[in-house]
Amino acid sequence: MHANLETVVLAPPYDMVDLFKSVPSPDVNVYNRSICEVTKQRLEAITNQQWESDQENAFFVGDLGEVFRQHLRWKSLLPRIEPFFAVKCNPDPMILKLLASLGCGFDCASKQEIQQVLDVGVESNRIVYANPCKQASFVRYAAQQNVSRMTFDNAEELHKIKKFYPDAELILRILTDDSQSLCQLGLKFGAPLHTVQHLLETAQQLDLNIIGVSFHVGSGCLDENAFCDAVISARNVFDQAAAMGFNFTLLDVGGGFPGADVKNGITFEKVAAVLGPVVDRLFPADIRVIAEPGRYYVASAFTICTNIIGRRSVTLPPAVEEEIEKETPEQYMYYVNDGMYGSFNCIIFDHQIVEPKVLMKNEVFTFGQDVCEPNFESSVWGPTCDSIDCLNKSTRLPKLEPGDWLYYENMGAYTVCAASQFNGFKKSEVVYTNTFC
C-alpha cells in the first residue's frame, strides 16, 4: 500500500468496496494474495510440472487491487473530473469490467474498442469516441450504437460526420503545448487556435452540434503546468464559441497523467494540485469535466515474469579486458521469452526504461530481495531473431543460468495491448490477483 494514500485507501465508501468485490468473473480465477505470493505459487507449479509443454512461458501478474487504489486516489484528489479510461492503454477484459463496475467512462479510439466496452455492459453515454480522424464505417457504427460524443480537429472531419452521423455531439480538440511530453501527440492531432474560428463557422453552416472542447498535453507529460496552460486555452475557446452562439457544456482535459510508479518529478499529486483549482476557477459547476487517464490506472498494476532461455558469455579482446576491473571481467548476454515484439514494445512506442530484477536463481525464489552475489555487466534480449529485440543494453546482474527468472515491474501501460506474435511467439498470459481485499 502506498503510504501517502493510506487515509484514502483505508476509508473508501462501503458501496464502492462492495462493487469492487463483485467484479471478478466466475470464469476467471482471481487470487487474494500479494504479487510475491502469486508469483511464487506459479513458479512452484512450473517446477512440479517440469516436462509439461510451454510450462516456462512468460506471464503477467495483474493486480486488480492496485487499479482500485488508483481509482480511489483519483476520486479523492480530482473529485470533480470524471475519469474516462483510455482503452488503448490496456484493454484487458478484467480491467474493463472493474472500471465499468466503478462507474468509469471510457475513451475509445475505434469500432473494436467501442464494441469491447459495450460488451461488458457499459452504456453508450459513458463512451467518448476520442479519435479526431475516424473511418467512415466506424462513424456509422457509433451512430448505430448511440455513441454520440466524438472529437474532431479539422473541417474535413466535420463534413464526414455530417454525412454519417449528423446528430453527433462534437468535441473540438485543440492543439496545446506538449513539448514536455514523451509522446507528443500534437504532431498528429489538435486544431491550432488560429483555426478555431473557421471550424466553428463550418459547424454552424453544417448545422452540427459542438458541445465542448478537449485537449491532450501528451502521453508521459513531464510538466504539470502544461495542464494549466491547456485549460486556459480551452476557456478562451469556450468564450470564443459563446460569442458565436454556441452553448458548450463539456470540457475534456485528456490524458498524460502519471501512474503510481512515478515517485519523483511530476507525480499525480502535483498534477491534481494545479489542475483541480484551475478548472474550478475558470469553469462553473454546471460545466461537466472529464479526463482520459490510461497509464495512470494500470502502469503499476502489472508485473511481467520472464524465463531466461539462454545465456551467452561475452569474450572481450585482451586490450579491453585489461581496462576492466580484474575482479569482474565477465560479461553476459541473457535471452528471455518475451521481448520488443511482445510485451516490451513499450520501450520503442512508449519510450519506457525497464529494469530487470532477479525472480528465481538456482530454484531459490528472490522476489523483492537483493541477491548477495557479485554483479556483472549484462544485457537482456528478447526471443526473436531480430537484433533490435533488446530489453536492456547495459545492466548489472548476478551470473544467471538458463531456467532462472527475471521480473519487470510497472508493465501495465502500452505493453501487451500492442504485442505481436512475430516469429511465432505467443503473447504472455495474465494471472490476476487482488491485493486490496
Domain spans of the chain, in order of start: 91-293, 302-431
Residue 120 has pLDDT above 70, yes or no: yes
- The predicted structure's pLDDT at residue 223: 78
Q: 3-12, 216-225, 274-283, 332-341: which range is least confident on average?
A: 3-12
Please report where in the chains the cell 470524471 appears, as a residue: 82
280-290 tens-digit pLDDT: 999 999 999 99
**CA separation for the pair 402, 405 (Å, rounded):** 8
* Superfamily of structural domain 302-431: Lyase, Ornithine Decarboxylase; Chain A, domain 1 (2.40.37.10)
Going by C-beta distance under 8 Å and a sequence separation of 6 or more, which residues neighbour residue 81? 253, 275, 276, 279, 289, 290, 291
Q: Note whether 287 and 249 are within 8 A (CB).
A: yes
Going by C-beta distance under 8 Å and a sequence separation of 6 or more, which residues neighbour residue 49? 55
Give the angle 300-414-120 at the CA atoms, nearest 5°: 85
More confident position, 423 or 139: 139
Residue 184 has pLDDT above 90, yes or no: no
Give the angle 238-251-107 at the CA atoms, nearest 5°: 145
Distances in Å between the Cα of 253 and the Cα atoms of 47, 216, 403, 421 are 48, 7, 47, 35
**CA separation for the pair 232, 238 (Å, rounded):** 10
- The predicted structure's pLDDT at residue 2: 40
Q: 219-221 and 181-183 as β-strands: parallel, antiparallel, unpaired?
A: antiparallel
**Among candidate residues 162, 121, 169, 120, the one with its CA nearest the CA of residue 146:** 169
Provide the grid cell at 391. 530489453
- The predicted structure's pLDDT at residue 422: 83
More confident position, 101 or 326: 101
- The predicted structure's pLDDT at residue 25: 63
Q: Note whether 185 and 165 are within 8 A (CB).
A: no
**CA separation for the pair 57, 383 (Å, rounded):** 11
- DSSP3 helix / strand / coil % (the chain, rounded to 5): 35, 25, 40
**Among candidate residues 196, 207, 277, 275, the one with its CA nearest the CA of residue 238:** 196
Q: Is the dihedral of CA 104, 106, 92, 67 positive or negative?
A: negative
pLDDT-based confidence at residue 8 (cuts at 50, 70, 90)? very low
Side chain identity, residue 208:
L
Average pLDDT, the chain: 89
Half-sphere exposure of 305 (CA within 13 A, CB side): 28
CA 81 to chain centre: 18
Catalytically annotated residues: 385
The SS3 call for residue 211 is strand
Give the angle 388-390-396 at the CA atoms, nearest 5°: 150
Domain 91-293, CATH number (from 2.120.10.30, 3.20.20.10, 1.10.10.10, 3.90.1150.10)? 3.20.20.10
